[in-house]
Amino acid sequence: MRVEEIYRRDLNLLVALQVLVEERSVSKAAERLNLSQSAMSRVLGRLRSLLSDPVLTRQGQHLVPTEKALSINKALEEPLGSLRQLLSPIDFDPKSCDQTFTIVTTDYAMQTILPFALPRIYQEAPHVAFELLPLQDDRLKEQLTYGRADLAICRPTHSIEPLQYGALGRVGVSCLLSKHHPLANQQMCLDDYLHYPHAMIAISDGVKALIEQALEDKPKRRMVLSAYHLEAALAIIDMMPLIITVPADLAHLVSERYDLVVKPLPFHFTPFDYSMIWHPRCDHSPAQEWLRSIVKEECGKLIANRVVEMGLDTSTDSIP
C-alpha cells in the first residue's frame, strides 16, 4: 500500500482498536476517548469495515477480541508507542545531550566572548561538541540556512531577515600601540590618529566601515595592513608606529598578554551591538534553546562586566 493510500484511511480507528481491545467494552472505550456510546458504536462499525472483521464478539456478558483484532493490536504496540513518544513534550536533559553544535563567528568572538561560555556549557552538558567556523559576513544567511550552522555570534552588517537574533551587549572600540610608539606616553589627538599608519583586523566586525563613516569629512588614514588575524598586525607593531583599532575588550586582553598600550579613540564613536543570530528552524529546538540561553546569559554578563571594568561609556567612546 502506498503512502498516499494510507493517508486516505482513518488512522484514528487504529487507536480506537487498541482502546477497545484493552477495555473489551464499548462504553468504557467511549469514556476513554471522550465519545458518546453511540459515537463509539459507529467507530466500531467503521473499524469492522476497515478490517473486514468483527473486532469484538460477544461471549455471554463479555466482549472478546477476535484473533485478527489481537494480532493487529500486538503489531500496533511499537508504532503507536513511537507516535506517543514523538508527540509528547520533549524533556531536554543537557547531561545526556551528545549533539554537535556548529557556530559561525568572528575571530574576535572566538577569542573574547565564546570561550567564557564554554566552561558552563561543558559543566551542564559534558557530552556535547562544537564546530567553530569563520563567519562569512556577506554569506551569513546562507551559512545559517543552507550551511546548517546552528548559531552565529557577530555584529551583522547586512539585513538578516528572516533570521532571528538576540542582543548580547554593546562593544566599544580602542586602539593598540606598541610601548615604543611615539604616542605611548601621551594623549592621542585626532590629528595623531590620522597621521600614523594603521592596521585593521577582520575581527572588528565592520568597525572599519563605522570608523570611516565617523571620519567621512577627514583625511584618509594610511592603511598598511588589513588582515583576518590579529597576530599579523602584532608581528609588525614594534617595527613601525602602528595603530591597531579593535574592539575595546580585545584591546585590553591583548595589551596584558603582549605588553602593549591601549588608547581610546580621539573622536566620537558609538559602540555597536553584538548579537547571536539563528535560523527560524532552530526556534523551538530544546537543545538550541538551551544553548542560546547559556550564550546569552554568560556572554551578555561578560560584555556588561567588561564595560564596567574598563570604564567604557556605551553611548559614546571618545575623548573630548
| This model's pTM is above 0.75 | no
Domains 94-166+278-301 and 173-264 share a fold: yes
pLDDT at 317: 40
Residues 6+ apart with CB under 8 A from 220: none
Give the sheet arrangement for strand 164-171, strand by strand.
129-134, 100-105, 151-154, 272-278, 164-171
Amino acid letter, residue 214: A
Cell of 240: 613601525
Cα dihedral: 80, 85, 88, 92 (round 10): 180
Mean pLDDT by 10 residues, the chain (320 residues): 64 88 92 93 92 90 89 87 74 90 88 86 95 86 87 85 88 91 95 94 71 89 86 90 89 88 91 89 90 89 70 44
Fold category of 94-166+278-301 in CATH = D-Maltodextrin-Binding Protein; domain 2 (3.40.190)
Q: Which three cell numbers stand for residue 54?
A: 468483527
At 302, phi and psi to the nearest 5?
A: -60, -50
pLDDT for res 310: 60
Contact between 174 and 262 (Cβ < 8 Å): yes
Q: Which residue has the cell 462504553?
A: 27
Domain ranges of the chain: 3-85, 94-166+278-301, 173-264
Task: Spell out the residues 6+ positions from residue 228 whose beta carbon is closer than 8 angstroms to its own.
Answer: 107, 134, 201, 202, 203
Among the CATH numbers 3.40.1160.10, 2.60.40.1120, 3.40.190.10, 1.10.3720.10, which is that of 173-264? 3.40.190.10
